[in-house]
């Protein structure tokens, strides 16, 4: 991790912040059309269970304003909208226009339109008023944000007092044996799947690298607390392959 505010990590490569934003946009422009298929292949479908669990922790209720941050193809947005039975206002936000359009199209095709809106926005500069949102969730998106501390502070800002944030992200594997197997899969098999299915090996090599440079469970919990969240806790899934962090705003 770099301490230079003008630099950030793009996978294992240190680049300036503008370059990281450009490259991350390029990654998701490249994989948007095959993104959902690749998620199923990469995780053996487990990502669906992880997302359902994260939405359960979100504690969705009727008449809430809910933000799905870095919502991509809107699978979390659809889970939330269905759980609220159309009685909540759900915003799917993503910085990438192509991913956001893909998500909107999938939602329309699936008949999930009531109470759902789409906003192209940077997680570091959200177009919502202070205290305007009851729940925030970000699924597998925080590691791609250039300035994570800024994004966490923005989540706190837009949340109403008593509001809750849920962060679902790849994390640090706690089992040494599983960690070795996971590394082998991530760096040897995953890029090959990306090349065969999505025609893009480099983007999926970046994915593996971005996971390794992302803060571990305790580090992310501390970052959340420093951003202003209280009562922060986390749940490891599959021995820490994925972790779900939860925090509240006073």
pLDDT in tens, the chain (250 residues): 444 456 788 888 888 887 888 888 888 888 888 888 888 988 999 999 999 999 999 999 999 999 999 999 999 999 999 999 989 999 999 999 999 999 999 999 999 988 999 999 999 999 999 999 999 999 999 999 999 999 999 999 999 999 999 999 999 999 999 999 999 999 999 999 989 888 888 888 988 999 999 999 999 999 999 999 999 999 999 999 999 999 999 9
Residues 233 and 59: their CA atoms lie apart, in Å, by: 15
What confidence score (pLDDT) does residue 128 get? 98
Look at residue 175 in the predicted model and tell me its pLDDT.
Answer: 96
What pLDDT, on a 0 to 100 scale, did the predictor assign at position 234? 98
Residue 24 is predicted with a pLDDT of 84
Task: Please state, in angstroms and as integers, the Cα–Cα distance from residue 82 to each residue in 18, 42, 77, 116, following that order.
Answer: 37, 25, 9, 10
**pLDDT at position 6:** 64
**Hey, how many other C-beta atoms are within 10 angstroms of the C-beta on 24?**
21
Q: Read out DSSP for 2-71?
A: ---TTEEEETTEEEEHHHHHHHHHHHHHHHGGGHHHHHHHHHTTHHHHHHHHHHHHHT--TT-EEEEET-
Q: Which domains does the chain have, with CATH numbers?
A: 7-174+204-248 (3.40.50.150)
């Amino acid at each position: 991790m770099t301490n230079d505010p003008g630099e950030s990590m793009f996978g294992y490569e240190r680049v300036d912040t503008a370059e990281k934003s450009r490259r991350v946009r390029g990654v998701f422009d490249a994989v948007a059309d095959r993104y959902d298929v690749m998620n199923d292949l990469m995780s053996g479908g487990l990502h669906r269970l992880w997302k359902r669990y994260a939405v359960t922790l979100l504690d969705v209720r009727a008449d809430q304003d809910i933000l799905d941050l870095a919502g991509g193809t809107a699978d979390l947005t659809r889970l939330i909208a269905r759980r609220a039975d159309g009685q909540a206002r759900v915003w799917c936000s993503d910085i990438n226009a192509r991913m956001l359009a893909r998500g909107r199209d999938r939602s329309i095709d699936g008949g999930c339109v009531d109470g759902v809106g789409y906003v192209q926005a940077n997680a570091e500069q959200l177009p919502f008023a202070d205290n305007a949102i009851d729940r925030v969730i970000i699924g597998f998106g925080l590691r791609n944000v250039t300035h994570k501390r800024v994004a966490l502070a923005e989540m706190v800002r837009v949340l109403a007092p008593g509001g809750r944030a849920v962060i679902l992200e790849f994390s640090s594997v706690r089992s040494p044996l599983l960690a070795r197997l996971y590394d082998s899969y991530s760096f040897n098999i995953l890029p090959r799947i990306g090349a065969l299915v999505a025609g893009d090996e480099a983007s999926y090599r970046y994915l593996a690298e971005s996971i390794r440079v992302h803060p571990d469970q305790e580090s992310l919990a501390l970052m959340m607390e420093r951003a202003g969240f209280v009562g922060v806790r986390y749940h490891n899934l599959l021995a820490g392959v994925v972790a779900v962090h939860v925090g509240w705003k006073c």
